[in-house]
Structure 1
Amino acid sequence: MRTVTVKNLVIGQGMPKICIPITGKNRAEIEQDLEIIRSMKPDLAEWRVDCYEAGKNGETIWEMLRTISDKLGEIPLLFTFRTRQEGGEKEILYEDYVKLLEKAARTGLADLMDVEVFFQPEETKALIKSLQESGVFVVASNHHFQRTPDAGELQERMRYMDECGADILKMAVMPQGSLDLCPVLEATIQMHQECEKPIVTMSMGASGVLSRIWGEFTGSCITFAAGRQASAPGQIKADEMRSVLEKLHQIKERKN
């Protein structure tokens, strides 16, 4: 399997990597997020830019991005603007979305960029190529907050992400019950066997918690965990997540 190496982190081998979101609305809240991140030492962090209320204190997104990057140090940063249609805090025009991501990539302050591949599907490939040419890795994403597609649809969506040239493929879904974990499990295993690229899948909410911890057995290589607060339903506190993943890793190693 092809791995993605960001700074000193190798994504796609060993235990799933823990990512903590930065969801602060202002500098004070973001400082709290960063303090927790530094204490919990996750593998990477995600800045949810859609949560940030830029302009209220005269500080721009780009000044905040530099602060975050400087304070994270060697912890890789995933830059994400989650649109409202996929569960985020704000709406944005596609042209503005592209400009935001491309400018963020050119700063050199983010290591990975989240791209919602079905925002404007016919233009996704060009956007991904543009971001990669600026030196960042692209996490192609798709989120379903109302349902869990069947395994076949999940696989088709991840295949499209692969065709668009993304470096990492991510699917997040909402279960309507425990049985909805089954298509996620099936699609993850199938894509891990079929695709050379790192896969990230999760089922949200209380019913989907198992999907956040089983990645080493199914092939999902990143799990999102809560720091100061969760960025999506069902996220486990990062310190608890680390403990669970380490125990599962030990069990897996003994079985081998």
Structure 2
Amino acid sequence: MITIGNAALDNGMPKICVPIVGRTVEELIQECRYLQDKPYDVVELRIDFLADVTSLPAVGEALAAVRRELPNSAFLFTFRTKEEGGETAVPEAYYFELIQYAVASGKVDAVDVEYFRNQDSICQTLAVAKEHGVTVVMSNHDFEKTPSFDEITGRLIGMKQLGADVAKLACMPNSAKDVLTLLSATEAVKAQYPDEPIITMSMGKLGVISRISGETFGSAMTFGSAKKASAPGQLDITALHSILHTLHGSKS
């Protein structure tokens, strides 16, 4: 069973992950406090929004503040690169240094590692994460288009073959057929790896259905917004929680 902190990524109703973003530690603290009475399973710190993200001590301060505010929350640490829709561009060497710093901090339960990065660095990071008992979500994001069925399945399977605990892919649909391609590819990979979690989503207004259909097609986690969405098409987490529970209840 793959987990992120106390959140088990098993089959059934998808877990809800809420991203928090802030340019300063104070903004992050306010984001954390806003979540106190909200329904979610995992909190994702999108550290690429932090103004001082190129300073490891500043990142350490942010990590400590978020963990202090949310001591019992399952915690996913993510630096989304500029190439995949993130806020800040950094050298690839620093990208991996940052992730390994978070792993070694003892304050995170999982880290996001992008699939289209240096493979030797990915493998080294996977080894460090395993040593510290930190779950690795390997990811790929396309904010322009939806890859073909074969490309989506190939990337998700490639992530698993590299050693990812969780394979994640998000893409932008330009038609309803694109959404069906993403859902069909998700189902195909889940059928091949029935006991291993994958996370997929089709972004934007067209893709909203993919954010609530994980129980049917095999995506183990969905992303909702609290104050500010980190990607187009995210639903408010309270509404998302209600929809998922309604759909889940209708299956029993």
Query: TM-score when scaled to structure 1?
Result: 0.93
Aligned partner of residue 167 in structure 2, secondary structure: strand
* 1:172-218, Cα deviation, whole Å (9 max, x unpaired): 00001222111111111011110132010000001100000000111
Partner of 2:3: 5
Partner of 1:226: 225
Partner of 1:31: 29
Partner of 2:131: 133
Aligned partner of residue 88 in structure 1, secondary structure: coil
* 1:103-144, Cα deviation, whole Å (9 max, x unpaired): 110011000000001122354223222222222000000001
Partner of 1:157: 155
Partner of 2:59: 61
Correspondence 1:207-218 to 2 at 5 A:
207-218=206-217
Query: Does the Cα contact within 8 Å between 1:32 and 1:228 map onto a contact in 2?
Result: no
Of all paired residues, the percent bearing the same amino acid is 37
* 1:57-98, Cα deviation, whole Å (9 max, x unpaired): xx7110110110121122110000000000000111111111
1:84 partner amino acid: K
CA 1:135–1:87 in structure 2 vs 1: closer, same or farther (change >3 Å)? same
Q: How many Å separate the matches in 2 of 1:27 and 1:133?
A: 28
Unaligned 5+ runs, structure 1: none
Unaligned 5+ runs, structure 2: none
Aligned partner of residue 30 in structure 2, secondary structure: helix
Q: How many Å separate the matches in 2 of 1:122 and 1:185?
A: 31
Correspondence 1:161-172 to 2 at 5 A:
161-172=159-170
Query: Does the Cα contact within 8 Å between 2:167 and 2:198 map onto a contact in 1?
Result: yes
Q: How many Å separate the matches in 2 of 1:102 and 1:124?
A: 10
Q: Which moved more, 1:151-160 or 1:28-37?
A: 28-37
RMSD: 1.8
Aligned residue pairs: how many?
251
Partner of 2:238: 239
- Give the deviation of 1:46 after TM superposition: 0.2
Aligned partner of residue 187 in structure 1, secondary structure: helix
1:111 partner amino acid: D
Q: How many Å separate the matches in 1 of 2:171 and 2:131?
A: 30
Correspondence 1:158-197 to 2 at 5 A:
158-195=156-193, 196-197=195-196
